[in-house]
Amino acid sequence: MRKNKSSSSRSNSIKYLAAVAAAAFAWAFIFLVPPEFMGIKNYLKLSPVERNYLAGLKSKYSGAQRELSPEQAKSVIKNALKFMDEAKDSPASFNTPEALALLFGTACAETLLKPRYQDFGGDAIGLFQIDYFTFKDLWERFIPNTRPALYSKMREKYSRFPNGEIYFEDLQLSDELCAVFARMKYAMNQEPLPPADNIEAQALYYKKHYNTRLGKATPQSYIDRLQGRSP
């Protein structure tokens, strides 16, 4: 009997330690997940409907199907920034030389001015590669809560539907709308935009606030791609 009790005790201890290890691993994966596993983490958050929707968009829009010239891209960005100022929903102007330079550099860095669904892994779309979760956060929380007039104007101008709704696919269909979302992503932080003529500062700002530590881009890749697309 003593032997059986000892064996049972050891078995229970092993099970307990295994449970603790599994819980620690789960906690680390959820809260300390390294960048290379973020795609898996985000994928697990998607509903089956969302997964099917994104898979359809990837099939439809992956691969560069069109390319903007630098002049066309800058025109798109200027129109987007002008639209944002006309909404009169911010004490400061969105339409500045700093914003134009940073957004043009961002478009070059993200897509080389070729709007598409993200090529390898992840779920980002459009000229500025807005990812799906950023889109949802901006459209469902940040823009309506911080810029309600802009939110209303966006529904009026860019929605393809009577209810005024905007969907993730619309960022591929409208480069101008995608530029609005990119500008609002930068607006989520309070740090002033870098000078329009300081490419190095732009590159660091882009990496910190747009591509972030989770992205594969570097400040140098921003500079290289921007210089390669500047007229």
Non-local (6+) Cβ contacts of 201 within 8 A are 194, 195
Give the pLDDT of residue 37. 42
- pLDDT 10s digits, 148-172: 999 999 999 999 999 999 999 999 9
CA distance 49 to 218: 34
Q: Look at residue 35 in the predicted model and tell me its pLDDT.
A: 42
> What was the pLDDT predicted at 17?
62
- 110 CB-near residues (< 8 Å, 6+ apart): 124, 127, 128, 129, 211, 217
Distance of CA 172 to the CA centre of its chain: 13
Output the pLDDT for position 12. 63
User: What does the longest C-alpha to C-alpha distance in the chain come to?
Assistant: 86
pLDDT digits (tens, 9 = 90+) for 71-92: 999 999 999 999 999 999 888 9
Reported as half-sphere exposure (CB side, CA atoms, 13 A), residue 38 has a value of: 14
pTM: 0.82
Per-residue pLDDT reduced to its tens digit, 108-148: 999 999 999 998 878 999 999 999 999 999 999 999 999 99
